[in-house]
Structure formats: structure tokens, C-alpha cells
């Protein structure tokens, strides 16, 4: 017998018993995004490698170690997208959506990074992203944060997440701070962990994220990012905080929050939780005013965030906040040759009357006992039995499968009204 082929490590199947939970999460996300006037954009999963090198930064962990990159048959370097913002900007530039325009966009789909798979982190993972273009004020920053906060309310986990907030200042201020931080840490180079030693010259701000205790102790006396802000960035951050305060959004100032991608400036934020152990960040974003121009477009301000779907689903499951709609509402059981002949037509009449009805028609014949077992296994709320007597009387017998209620026989019109509440559950 041929050896069975397995899924690639870190790229997981989503099985039928798991997909209803994902559908519930995705439906909530779509509803909340629409309530803020955001429109969906869908980008390809495969892009030119240069897109990510130019946007994310060649000395970031993503580009150096995590991207799935290969040459196609024409020798062109292609990469499975590791994040969505660069692709969204590329699409906006290519199709003339950004210059001198305001765009509120969202996307959802798979991303790819070669990391060590662990709970809540996979090599193929899924992200929901929000991107706002053409608005430079703190009001746009506040809007995307408020949108994310409304998602937590919609999911019932507002008490399980904490907003951490910081500003990187302008690109010039960030560069000055980077030099100051590098100069400070250079005197302690031998005491730094290996990743931080490697980042000291290439990306010293990432050292602020180090989990190494010795490195963190050295950072206690490091220069403060806020001391390098320009006046405009300081005012922008004050306006953002004032709007969040007015809206009742609690947050913690975290001067070591810098984000791992090179394109961020000014506002950066993360929503974190203690409910998932080490994998504490469930949503992160900020402002990236220079990226559109960096990728070949006209200068356009932008702000957004990305949310890991696997981690969000995991958090919702941990908090018992998922109650997806059942896969099947009713199971139609035809008993006898004439009933089997007429069953598809009866099912279609019910679907015409109730488009949201989730109805399975039994196939393959068999005795009533066998069909009842199949109906019960389907998870349906009720079995709809059609035999010779029901056909003669133009009725259907309804047998409850999840309660002790008595079975009853109904006309077509009565059956439609009986089933209607099931489609709204």
C-alpha cells in the first residue's frame, strides 16, 4: 500500500467540526468592519519578493529567517505573503486607490512564515487586517483602535485584553533614538543575548522586545524613546490619548513597544492577554505614513492593524465565548419508494420557503431505525419523517431529537412556521 501523504508541518487542516467556530468569528468581524464603513479587499497570496524586502525591511526576522521564497520558472523571486499590509499597499498603488483619496479597507486570509509551530502559531496562519489611507490625524488612529475595541465587545472578551500604546515619533526622531540606543547598548554588548547582539547594528529597536532577563535589566537605564519625539509627534500622541480617554478606552503606556516591522512611525499599539500564556498579543498595529511612497506611490498617510485569527479563536474557546450555529437544523427521512422519489422536491419547497434553513435529506434508503441514527448523528434539532401516510395526507411528521417533546404531524404551511425559529437560532 502506498505511503499516505501528510500535511506540511505547521500548515493545518480546518475540519468540519471546527469550521462553524471560525464562521462565527469571521461573521462577527465582517459585521463590525462594515459598521465602520470599511470595504473588503482581497489580494493574492503570492507576491514579488522585493515587495516585502522593501516594506518590512531586509534585516528583520521575517525577511531574514521566516519567508517562504522561491524562484519561478522564469527565474523571478516570489514569496508567499508573510503579512497583509504590504500587499494591500501594492494593490492600492497598482489600481489607483490611494493618492488624494480616503480608503477604509479590510482583508482576511492566509499568511505564511517559517516559524517553529506551537499552540496558536502556525506556518500557515490567518489574519484579519484593517488599513486606513489618506488620513493623517489622530482621529484616524483612534478610529482603528476603537474598531478593534468593539470587536472585543462583540466577542464578549473586553475584560480579557489590555491595550498597550506608544509612539515612535517621526521617522527622523526614530532614527535619532535608534542611534542613541545603539550607542548606549554598545557598552554592554558582551552581556546581551545572542539575538540582541545580532540586532545591535541592524535593528536595535527590536532589542526592546527581548525576553532575556539580563538584556531587560540593561534596558532599565537606556534612553527613553519619548525624549526623542518631535513636537508634532508629541501633539499627535496627546490628541490620540485624549480621544481614547473621551471614548472610555483604558490603555497602558509602554515605551518599549516598537513593533517588528520597519515601516511604522508615530502611533503603535498592541492588544495583549494573559489568557494564552506566552502568546499574549492578539492584535497589533500602528501608523505607517511612509510606506505608500516607499512602494512607489505618492506620499499617503496610513494607519491600521492585523489580528491573528488562530490566536483569537483560541482565546474565545478558552473563555467559552463561541456558540456557533449548528451545522444542520433538520434531517428529512423518506420512508419507502414513493417518499424517496418525492423527498428532493419536498426539501426544495422547504428551502424556497426558508432560505436560511440547514436541511439534510437522507440518501441511501434504509429502515427508520437506521435513518433516525443518521439524523441524530447529524446534530439536527428535528427529524422530518415522510412515509406513505404522510404522503397521502400531504403532511410531515416532526420528531424532536434534542428534547423530550412529543412528535407531531404538520401540514406544509404549519411545518414552515415550526421550522422558522430554527433558522434564527
- Angle (CA) 234-163-203 rounded to 5° is 65
Question: Cβ distance 79 to 109 under 8 Å?
Answer: no
The residue length of the chain stands at 425
Res 85: pLDDT: 94
Res 310: pLDDT: 93
CA-based nearest residue to 335, from 375, 382, 389: 389
Res 226: pLDDT: 85
Task: Kindly list the strands in the beta sheet with 330-334, ordered across the sheet, starting from the edge strand earlier in the chain.
Answer: 359-361, 330-334, 382-386, 395-400, 408-411
β-strand partners of 109:
127
Res 59: pLDDT: 55
Res 261: pLDDT: 64
> In whole angstroms, what is the distance from residue 384 CA to residue 107 CA?
40
Q: Give whole-number Cα distances, 363 to 13, 346, 374, in Å.
A: 27, 14, 10
Which three cell numbers mark 257? 513597544
* Bridge pairing between strands 265-272 and 252-253: unpaired
Res 62: pLDDT: 67
> In whole angstroms, what is the distance from residue 9 CA to residue 31 CA?
33
List, in order, residues 6 or more apart from 130 with CB less than 8 Å away: 33, 38, 104, 105, 106, 144, 147, 148, 285, 304, 305, 306
CA-based nearest residue to 266, from 156, 136, 357, 83: 136
* Exposed e or buried b per residue across 372-400, where buried means at least 16 C-beta atoms within 10 angstroms of its C-beta: bebbeebbbbbbbbbbeebbeeebbbbbe
Question: Cβ distance 228 to 177 under 8 Å?
Answer: yes
Which three cell numbers mark 407? 412528535
Full pLDDT tens readout for the chain, 425 residues:
788 999 989 998 999 889 999 999 999 999 999 999 999 999 999 999 999 888 776 556 667 678 899 999 999 999 999 999 999 999 999 999 999 999 999 999 999 999 887 777 789 999 999 999 999 999 999 999 999 999 999 999 999 999 999 999 888 888 888 888 888 888 877 887 887 887 777 778 778 877 778 888 888 888 888 888 889 999 999 999 999 999 999 999 998 887 766 678 899 999 999 887 765 889 999 999 989 998 999 999 999 999 999 999 999 998 889 888 888 999 999 999 999 999 999 999 999 999 999 999 999 989 999 999 999 999 999 999 999 999 999 999 999 999 989 999 999 999 999 999 998 87
> In whole angstroms, what is the distance from residue 121 CA to residue 223 CA?
33
Task: Kindly list the strands in the beta sheet with 68-71, ordered across the sheet, starting from the edge strand earlier in the chain.
Answer: 46-48, 77-80, 68-71
> In whole angstroms, what is the distance from residue 9 CA to residue 40 CA?
30
Coil, helix or strand for 224? coil
Q: Give whole-number Cα distances, 209 to 39, 86, 307, 334, 387, in Å.
A: 33, 23, 19, 63, 68
> In whole angstroms, what is the distance from residue 37 CA to residue 35 CA?
6
> In whole angstroms, what is the distance from residue 181 CA to residue 193 CA?
16
Distance of CA 211 to the CA centre of its chain: 25
What beta strand segments (E) does 226-341 contain?
252-253, 265-272, 281-287, 302-308, 330-334
> In whole angstroms, what is the distance from residue 18 CA to residue 175 CA?
46
> DSSP character for 269?
E
Q: What global pTM score does this model have?
A: 0.87
Res 61: pLDDT: 63
Backbone phi, psi, residue 155, to 5°: -90, -10
CA-based nearest residue to 298, from 77, 131, 115, 134: 134
Amino acid at each position: 500500500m502506498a505511503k499516505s501523504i501528510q500535511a506540511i508541518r505547521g500548515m493545518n487542516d480546518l475540519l468540519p467540526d471546527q469550521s462553524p467556530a471560525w464562521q462565527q468569528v469571521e461573521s462577527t468581524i465582517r459585521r463590525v468592519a462594515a459598521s465602520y464603513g470599511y470595504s473588503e479587499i482581497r489580494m493574492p497570496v503570492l507576491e514579488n519578493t522585493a515587495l516585502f524586502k522593501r516594506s518590512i525591511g531586509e534585516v528583520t526576522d521575517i525577511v531574514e529567517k521566516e519567508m517562504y521564497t522561491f524562484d519561478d520558472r522564469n527565474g523571478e523571486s516570489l514569496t508567499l505573503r508573510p503579512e497583509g499590509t504590504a500587499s494591500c499597499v501594492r494593490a492600492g498603488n497598482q489600481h489607483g486607490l490611494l493618492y488624494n483619496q480616503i480608503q477604509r479597507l479590510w482583508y482576511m486570509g492566509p499568511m505564511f512564515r517559517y516559524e517553529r509551530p506551537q499552540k496558536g502559531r502556525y506556518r500557515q496562519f490567518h489574519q484579519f487586517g484593517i488599513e486606513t489611507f489618506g488620513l493623517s490625524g489622530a482621529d484616524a488612529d483612534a478610529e482603528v483602535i476603537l474598531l478593534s475595541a468593539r470587536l472585543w465587545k462583540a466577542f464578549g472578551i473586553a475584560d480579557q485584553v489590555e491595550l498597550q500604546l506608544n509612539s515612535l515619533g517621526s521617522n527622523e526622531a526614530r532614527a535619532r533614538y535608534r542611534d542613541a540606543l545603539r550607542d548606549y547598548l554598545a557598552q554592554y554588548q558582551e552581556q546581551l543575548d545572542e539575538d540582541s547582539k545580532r540586532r545591535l547594528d541592524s535593528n536595535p529597536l527590536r532589542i526592546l522586545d527581548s525576553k532575556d532577563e539580563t538584556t531587560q535589566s540593561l534596558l532599565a537605564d537606556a534612553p527613553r524613546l519619548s525624549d526623542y519625539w518631535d513636537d508634532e509627534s508629541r501633539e499627535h500622541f496627546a490628541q490620540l490619548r485624549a480621544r481614547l480617554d473621551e471614548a472610555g478606552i483604558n490603555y497602558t503606556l509602554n515605551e518599549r513597544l516598537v513593533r517588528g516591522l520597519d515601516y511604522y512611525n508615530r502611533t503603535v499599539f498592541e492588544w495583549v492577554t494573559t489568557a494564552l500564556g506566552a502568546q499574549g498579543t492578539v492584535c497589533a498595529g500602528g501608523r505607517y505614513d511612509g510606506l505608500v511612497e516607499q512602494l512607489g506611490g505618492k506620499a499617503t498617510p496610513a494607519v491600521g492593524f492585523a489580528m491573528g485569527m488562530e490566536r483569537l479563536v483560541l482565546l474565545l474557546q478558552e473563555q467559552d465565548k463561541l456558540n456557533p450555529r449548528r451545522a444542520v437544523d433538520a434531517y428529512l427521512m423518506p420512508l419507502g419508494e414513493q417518499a424517496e422519489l418525492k423527498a428532493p422536491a419536498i426539501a426544495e419547497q422547504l428551502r424556497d420557503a426558508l432560505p436560511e434553513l440547514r436541511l439534510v435529506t437522507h440518501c441511501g434508503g434504509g429502515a427508520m431505525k437506521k435513518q433516525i441514527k443518521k439524523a441524530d448523528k447529524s446534530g439536527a434539532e428535528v427529524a422530518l419523517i415522510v412515509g406513505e401516510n404522510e404522503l397521502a395526507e400531504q403532511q410531515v411528521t416532526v420528531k424532536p431529537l434534542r428534547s423530550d417533546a412529543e412528535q407531531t404531524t404538520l401540514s406544509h404551511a404549519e411545518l414552515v412556521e415550526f421550522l422558522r425559529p430554527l433558522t434564527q437560532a
